[in-house]
Amino acid sequence: MYIQSSCDLLYALKKLNYLEAARDFLWWPNSGSFEVIAGAILTQQTKWERVEESLYNLGRSNLLSPELLSSGNLEQIVSCIKPSGFYNTKAHRLQTISSNILKDFGSFDNFQKNASREWLLGQKGIGMESADSILCYGCKREIFVVDSYTTRLLGALGYKFDNYTQLQKWMQDGLKENLQKAKELYPYNLELYAIYARFHGKIVEYAKEYIRGKNVDIKPLQN
């Protein structure tokens, strides 16, 4: 199969049955909750398995909300997230963004409805990938998350982009222009944000299996 658009890539990944056994419908664990924000910060420069340990520790210590994190003991937060590495920096960032959510939005529910990408990018330690992950998986917005796996996979397929924004636009445009075709891949009516969310998850799952160092195996996508 020659992949001419992001819709073709979605079709190829879905044909390989990625995400059939996902723990969360949108792929990111506990999507639609504050936990997505914490996870997006904790996952920077570490493996997701270590993030899960940290999130479990925060939940067990009753710290997994903006209200509790913003007023929590910093040393306790640091202790909870040690598995994720860079724990002092990440603890400060978790506490700061929690405080700013409450200051600017009053609650996480209001944040979900009204937070902007610009606001997120203005927060310490939040880059484009983290901001888009929060918007897509935490706020259920129509925005596609681009990561290094996406860049490397598309590069192996012959597509080169100058920056994050160009690649993101190519991914989103391919689905918007073929939205009906994309929706027909599912036996139920799926909103665009959910297609974006699951699509990104499929790319990550494929990459974990077929990307090793500089080598990218694209043969399964072309069968």
Helices (H), ranges, 66-212: 66-71, 74-80, 87-105, 108-114, 117-121, 128-133, 148-156, 164-176, 179-183, 192-210
Q: What residue ranges of the chain have pLDDT lower than 50? A: none
Q: Spell out the CATH class of 35-138.
A: mainly alpha
Percent of the chain past pLDDT 90, that is, above it, reads: 93
Q: Are 22 and 201 in contact (CB under 8 A)?
A: yes
The H or E element that residue 62 is part of is: none
Q: What is the pLDDT of residues 171-220, one digit of tens each?
A: 999 999 999 999 999 888 999 999 999 999 999 999 999 999 889 999 99
Residue 140 pLDDT: 97
Residue 1 pLDDT: 66
CATH 1.10.340.30 occupies which residues in the chain? 35-138
Report the candidate in 144, 120, 140 with the shortest Cα–Cα distance to residue 131.
120
Residue 188 pLDDT: 86
Residue 87 pLDDT: 97
Residue 21 pLDDT: 72
Amino acid making up residue 56: Y
Residue 214 pLDDT: 87
Distance (Å) of CA 8 to CA 46, 53, 83, 177: 31, 36, 38, 12
6-27+143-222 CATH, one of 3.40.50.150, 2.60.120.380, 1.10.1670.10, 1.20.1090.10 = 1.10.1670.10
